[in-house]
Amino acid sequence: MPRLASLNTQILIGCLAGIAGGLWLASAEPTPVAASALYGAKLIGNLFLDLLRMVLVPLVFSSIVVGVANLRAHDQMHRGGRQRWPSSSPRWAWRS
């Protein structure tokens, strides 16, 4: 069984191949193949970014809403505790 390169090495090779391919397509004379390849890469890149936004925007919004709701609940808990504390304490504790 052949041993594969480590994941870090595979990622590095993929990045270098992508950079080399991009430079080759950008420096080559405009041909129909290069134009369609760049169009496809742009389409896939925009699709990836749109999907990422579609996931991140609701996630950030819901995190903010839950955080604000927890702050309000925390504030109400302390306010209620301050109002009830004197009535539950012994009367002699208030006399000096």
CA distance 83 to 12: 62
What are the extents of the domains in the chain?
A: 7-87
The model carries a pTM of 0.51
Mean pLDDT of the chain, nearest integer: 81
Q: What is the pLDDT of residues 29-62, one digit of tens each?
A: 888 888 888 899 899 999 999 999 999 999 999 9
DSSP 52-87: HHHHHHHHHHHHHHHHHHHHHHHHHHHHHHHHHHHH
